[in-house]
Structure 1
Amino acid sequence: MPKTLVIVVATLAWLSLAPAPPAVRTVAPIRPPAQAQARSGAVSSPLMRPGHAVRYWTAERQAAAHAAGLPGTSAGPRGAPPGGTANLAGTRRHSVPAAKRLTPGGDANGYARVRRPYTRAATSRITGRLFFVNAGGHGDSCSASVVRSAAEKLVVTAAHCVYSVPAGAANGRWHQHFAFVPAYDGRAATVKKREPYGRWGGRRAWKPDGYTGLTGGDWNSVHDIALIEVGPRKRTLQKAVGAFTPMRSQGGRHTIATMGYPGVLGRQPYDGRDQLWCLGRTRQATGMVLGATLPAALPAAPAEARRSVTTARPGRLETHNCHLHKGHSGGPWLVKGTRDLVGVLSAGKEDGYAAGNAVANALNAEGYGTIVRRADPRGVYDALSIKLRGPARPVRRGASVTVTATVRMRGLMAAARVPVTLTLAGEATLTATGGATCVREPAKASCTIAAIHPRRPVRVTATIAVARDARAPLRVAGHVASTALDPSRNDNSSTLRLTTRS
Structure 2
Amino acid sequence: MDLKHAVRRIAALSAALGAATVVVAAPATADDQVVTVVSEAGRAAALAHWTPERMRQWVGDEELPPAEKIGREWEGPVPPGVGRLFFTAEPGVDGSCTATVIPSASKDVAFTAGHCVNGGLDRFDRPIKIVNVVFVPGYDRGAAPHGVFPARSFAWSSTYAGPMSGSDDDAVIALDPVGGRHVADVAGTQDISFEELPSTVDTTMFGYPVSRAAGGEALFSCVRPATREANSVTTTWNTDCDLAGGSSGGPWLRNFDPASGKGTIFSVTSRGTMTEDGVTTDLSGAAFTEPVRRLYERAGEL
CA separation of 1:185 and 1:130: change in aligned 2, threshold 3 A: same
CA contact (8 A) 2:205 2:223 kept: yes
Aligned to 1:334: 253
Aligned Cα RMSD in Å? 2.7
1:194-215: CA deviations, max 9, x gaps?
1111101110000112323253
CA separation of 1:47 and 1:359: change in aligned 2, threshold 3 A: same
- What amino acid maps onto 1:348 in structure 2? G
Measure the CA separation in 2 of the matches of 1:114 and 1:340: 18
Give the CA deviation at 1:63. Answer: 1.7
Unmatched segments (≥5 aa) in structure 1: 1-38, 67-81, 85-106, 189-193, 292-312, 379-502
CA contact (8 A) 1:346 1:359 kept: yes
Aligned length: 259
1:442-464: CA deviations, max 9, x gaps?
xxxxxxxxxxxxxxxxxxxxxxx
Measure the CA separation in 2 of the matches of 1:375 and 1:195: 24
Helix, strand or coil at the partner of 1:164: coil
Give the CA deviation at 1:115. Answer: 1.4
Measure the CA separation in 2 of the matches of 1:169 and 1:41: 27
1:45 aligns with 2:36: yes
Give the fraction of aligned pairs with identical amino acids, expressed as a percent: 24
CA contact (8 A) 1:249 1:364 kept: no
Aligned to 1:276: 220
Alignment of 1:56-455 (within 5 A): 56-64=49-57, 109-115=69-75, 118=77, 123=79, 125-186=80-141, 194-213=143-162, 215=164, 218=165, 221-233=166-178, 234-250=180-196, 252-264=199-211, 267-269=212-214, 271-286=215-230, 289=232, 291=233, 313-314=234-235, 316-320=236-240, 322-335=241-254, 336-337=256-257, 338-351=262-275, 356-366=281-291, 368-377=292-301
Give the CA deviation at 1:83. Answer: 6.7
Measure the CA separation in 2 of the matches of 1:108 and 1:180: 24
Measure the CA separation in 2 of the matches of 1:329 and 1:354: 15
1:263-306: CA deviations, max 9, x gaps?
13xx123x11111011010111345x3x4xxxxxxxxxxxxxxx
TM-score normalised by structure 2 residue count = 0.77
CA contact (8 A) 2:244 2:280 kept: no
TM-score normalised by structure 1 residue count = 0.48
Q: Which has the higher contact order (CA 8 A, sep 6+)?
A: 2
Give the CA deviation at 1:361. Answer: 2.1
Give the CA deviation at 1:65. Answer: 5.7
CA separation of 1:237 and 1:353: change in aligned 2, threshold 3 A: closer
Helix, strand or coil at the partner of 1:45: strand
Helix, strand or coil at the partner of 2:44: helix
CA separation of 1:332 and 1:375: change in aligned 2, threshold 3 A: same
Structure 1 or 2, whichever has the larger Rg, is 1
Measure the CA separation in 1 of the matches of 2:287 and 2:226: 11
Give the CA deviation at 1:354. Answer: 8.8
Give the CA deviation at 1:46. Answer: 2.7
CA separation of 1:211 and 1:137: change in aligned 2, threshold 3 A: farther
Helix, strand or coil at the partner of 1:356: strand
Give the CA deviation at 1:59. Answer: 1.3
Unmatched segments (≥5 aa) in structure 2: 1-29
- What amino acid maps onto 2:133 in structure 1? F
Measure the CA separation in 2 of the matches of 1:356 and 1:201: 33
Give the CA deviation at 1:137. Answer: 2.6
CA contact (8 A) 1:65 1:141 kept: no
Measure the CA separation in 1 of the matches of 2:112 and 2:208: 12
